[in-house]
Amino acid sequence: MPRRITKVTIGEEAFIMMIAGAAEVYDKETYGLLIGRRRRNDYLVQYAVPHQTTRRYTYGVQITPKHEKKLLQTINFFKGYKYMGEFHSHPNDACILSKQDRKDMIESPLGVSIVIRIDRHDSYLKWKYDEKDKCLYGSIDDSYYIEVKAYRRDDTGKRIRKLRLNCPFIKKLNNRVKRVYPGFFEKPK
């Protein structure tokens, strides 16, 4: 019996593309595909490809099946990479799966679903991982507050589970911000 995987590792390129995609179309939802591979103990998401032809709304997206098929065919061309699931944003909303998100996950084997909450924010918040809530959070610049959570349908197809997240890039990002903007993390006196 295969081991049940409970963790998603997000690579630097995937993290940047998901967050940039969410910020680019803010206050509408973004949508894209996750590319990577299943390893022994986790799902490794190496790339995130924003779906450019998606119709975007504040509370949802409309995907053109023809364009999604083209995108999947292109991804399958590159050996060693697999379609891992999808990502989408919830602008000014909770970082949880909506009823429609849950329905989509139960009805089709989406794999991993990463949800990104994005809100306007007026101060910088260092990137951290909340172990209890299984949530990665921080801010971009002093413009947007971001939360990231990952979900997966269990093997029975009836339940959806929240997965732990690992993103080694956030340590590098925090160090870069600290080096470039030395006082950024200090509280005002």
What are 148-175's pLDDT values in tens digits?
999 998 878 788 999 999 999 999 999 9
> DSSP class of residue 188?
P
CATH of domain 7-180: 3.40.140.10
The proportion of the chain whose per-residue pLDDT surpasses 70, expressed as a percent, equals 83
Mean per-residue pLDDT over the chain, rounded: 86
pLDDT at 55 over 80: no
Query: Where is average pLDDT lowest: 59-63, 88-92, 143-147?
Result: 59-63
What integer pLDDT is reported at residue 1 of this predicted model?
A: 44
55 vs 138, which has greater pLDDT?
138
What integer pLDDT is reported at residue 178 of this predicted model?
A: 83
What integer pLDDT is reported at residue 17 of this predicted model?
A: 95
> Mean per-residue pLDDT for 43-58?
78
What is the residue type of 96? Answer: I
pLDDT at 66 over 50: yes
What integer pLDDT is reported at residue 188 of this predicted model?
A: 56
What integer pLDDT is reported at residue 95 of this predicted model?
A: 94
Q: Per-domain residue ranges for the chain?
A: 7-180
> Mean per-residue pLDDT for 76-95?
86
- With beta carbons less than 8 A apart as the criterion, state whether 136 and 165 touch: yes
Please give the sequence-ordered ranges of beta strands (E in DSSP) within the chain, or none if there are none.
7-10, 31-38, 43-50, 55-57, 60-62, 82-91, 112-120, 128-130, 135-140, 144-153, 160-166
**pLDDT tens-digit profile of 8-26?**
999 999 999 999 999 988 9
pTM over cut 0.75: yes
Per-position DSSP letters for 91-139, written without gaps between them: ETS-SS--HHHHHHHHHS---EEEEEEEEE-SS----EEETTTTEEEEE
